Amino acid sequence: MNSNYARALIPLILAATFLLDVFMPWGYAVWVVGDVFGVLLTLGIEWPIAPYIVAATGTVLAYMGHILSPPVIAVDIAGFNRVVGIALLWITAGLVARARRAKLDDATRRLGAIVESSSDAILSVTPDGFVTTWNGGAERIFGYTAGEMIGRSILTIIPAHLHRDKARLLATVRGAHDIQSYDAVRLTKDDRCIDVSVTLSPLKDSVGQFVGVSKVIRDISDRKKAEVLLRQAHEALEMRVQERTAELSAANHSLRILSSRLMQVQEEERSRLARDLHDEVGQLLTALKIDLQDIRHGEAEKARFGSLSDSLELVDRLLTQVRSLALDLRPSLLDDLGLVSALRWYANRQAARNGWTLSLLVEGMAGRVPVPIEVACFRVAQEALTNVAKYARAKTIDLALRRQDEEVTLIIQDDGVGFDVPSARRRAQGGQSVGLLGMEERVRLAGGSLVISSTPGEGTRLELCFPLTEQEQAKPHAAVEVMSS
């Protein structure tokens, strides 16, 4: 039964019993059942002395009832009845008090077993901050035994620099606050600082007076470490997302610049082809037409023979010019014989044009490699050698083409004037040139990587790497081939 209901019902039962005893002629022995029931109801009240208070009140009311009740029953019988009833009332009160103590002792034993077996530290502290109880969980967490801590200040397990926690603890211990929970740092016997969760609640005696504080302390070091790792992972992920976003933005910007520049280069290339066709091929065809007209209208055999010789020479020059234009667009050697032959032909051609000392090393290039890799290597070499011819003022060119188990590598190195790579990259991203971005984009689309190393006055080195599939890696390697000119 609820204790509030019991407190309200007991006075009503005692009053009703007293009134029945006074006004009914049956004597107190009949109505003592009401007082006994009132004593039994004290099982629902927290006060240990409640059964005796009810019994004492019933005794006083029985005596008053004896005085006030009408003399219907003989005095000796009435007195005997009341003595027996009061004795029964006190016996009931004693039994109820004993039952309460047994119940309390059982609950205390159960609670003690729970407290001792708990993995959390459970302890109690006096208003002055001294430890009065210390369970096994506290011993495991802090390393102090119960004998070492009982009677000592609770400040023993608080680090010296945590003055705010000390003030909060002492204020709570003295009853300034109700139940509260917070995270803190506590000190173990071996001077380790651990993260804990602390729950404080006031302890009160049987009459509701504040007598101390109960503390439940849980070791949350693992949770704190997990939170730190999670936060670090989150920060790393955020940083990675930002980096990838910046890279994507830069790539999109570079792609827009590259697309715009490629259109411009396309128009420039068309203009160059148109000029070459008009200036070279067109003039040769015009001269050939004039010679053929002279042959048709000429009369002298010698004049015809001279015009015919000039026409044949013009046809040879025309074929050479057309073949040169076609080779600049895309050499047939690349499609027919592969990267090694095309690269050797183009490098020798450029070396002859520009007076370079050329060294070409080919290693492990048995058979053909995938077409995208061949095209990317040749176009990058073409662009690089063209840039060397325009800007580098180099004297020596070293080319190395290698095929290993997992990749194809092309290295192009010169001894020219070099350049500042970051500045060139910024100019390329600003749209001032397309060569650098074009080479990087071509290599990336073919699945490879390009590393450009250059220092002003110390030449330039380009290294292209392309990974091969397992099927391509299984092909046999050729011997090393070295060519210099």
Give the model confidence (pLDDT) of 192-236 as tens digits: 999 999 888 888 776 667 788 888 889 898 888 898 899 999 999
Average confidence (pLDDT) over 309-320: 68
Weakest-pLDDT range from 74-83, 202-211, 445-454: 74-83
Q: What's domain 334-484's superfamily in CATH? A: Histidine kinase-like ATPase, C-terminal domain (3.30.565.10)
pLDDT at 162 exceeding the cut of 60:
yes
By the 8 A CB rule, do 458 and 384 touch?
no
pLDDT value of residue 27: 61
**Phi and psi dihedrals of 181, rounded to 5?**
-135, 145
Closest Cα partner for 154 from 162, 143, 166? 166
DSSP secondary structure, 11-22, as one string: HHHHHHHHHHHH
Average confidence (pLDDT) over 66-73: 68
Q: What tokens does 455 get?
A: 């220092």
Q: What tokens does 329 get?
A: 């667009």
CA-based radius of gyration for the chain: 53
* Beta carbons within 10 angstroms of residue 47's beta carbon: 14
Weakest-pLDDT range from 133-142, 264-273, 338-347: 264-273
pLDDT higher for 165 or 107?
107
Say how far apart CA 199 and CA 336 lie, in whole Å: 83
By the 8 A CB rule, do 404 and 364 touch?
yes
Say how far apart CA 289 and CA 295 lie, in whole Å: 10
Q: What is the 3-state secondary structure (H, E, C) of 236-254?
A: HHHHHHHHHHHHHHHHHHH
How far, rounded to the nearest angstrom, does the alpha carbon of residue 199 sit from its chain's CA centroid? 31
pLDDT value of residue 321: 66
For the ranges 64-73, 192-201, 271-280, the maximum mean pLDDT occurs at 192-201
Class of the domain covering 119-219: alpha beta
pLDDT higher for 412 or 259?
412
Residue type, 409: T
Cα separation of the two ends of the chain: 111
DSSP secondary structure, 290-324, as one string: HHHHHHHH---HHHHHHHHHHHHHHHHHHHHHHHH
pLDDT value of residue 477: 46
Q: What tokens does 219 get?
A: 């070791």
Delimit the domains of the chain by residue range: 3-115, 119-219, 228-329, 334-484
From its phi and psi, is residue 12 left (phi > 0), alpha (psi between -120 and 50) or beta?
alpha
- For the stretch 25-38, pLDDT in tens is 666 656 667 777 77
Residue 273 vs residues 163, 231, 268, 356: alpha-carbon distances, Å: 84, 60, 9, 27
pLDDT at 346 exceeding the cut of 60:
yes
Share of the chain above pLDDT 90, in %: 15
pLDDT-derived band at 480 (thresholds 50, 70, 90) equals very low
Average confidence (pLDDT) over 103-120: 75
Q: SS3 for 257? A: helix
For the ranges 11-15, 431-435, 447-451, the maximum mean pLDDT occurs at 447-451
Closest Cα partner for 273 from 332, 334, 353, 329? 329
pLDDT-derived band at 471 (thresholds 50, 70, 90) equals very low
pLDDT at 294 exceeding the cut of 70:
no
User: Which stretches of 136-195 are DSSP H helices?
Assistant: 136-142, 146-149, 163-173
What's the DSSP call for residue 153?
B
Q: What tokens does 460 get?
A: 């330039």
pLDDT-derived band at 479 (thresholds 50, 70, 90) equals very low
pLDDT at 173 exceeding the cut of 70:
no
Say how far apart CA 402 and CA 414 lie, in whole Å: 18
pLDDT at 448 exceeding the cut of 80:
yes
pLDDT, the chain, mean: 77
How far, rounded to the nearest angstrom, does the alpha carbon of residue 103 sit from its chain's CA centroid? 53
- For the stretch 377-426, pLDDT in tens is 988 898 899 889 988 889 999 999 999 878 899 999 999 999 888 888 77
pLDDT value of residue 224: 87
Average confidence (pLDDT) over 39-52: 76
pLDDT at 476 exceeding the cut of 50:
no
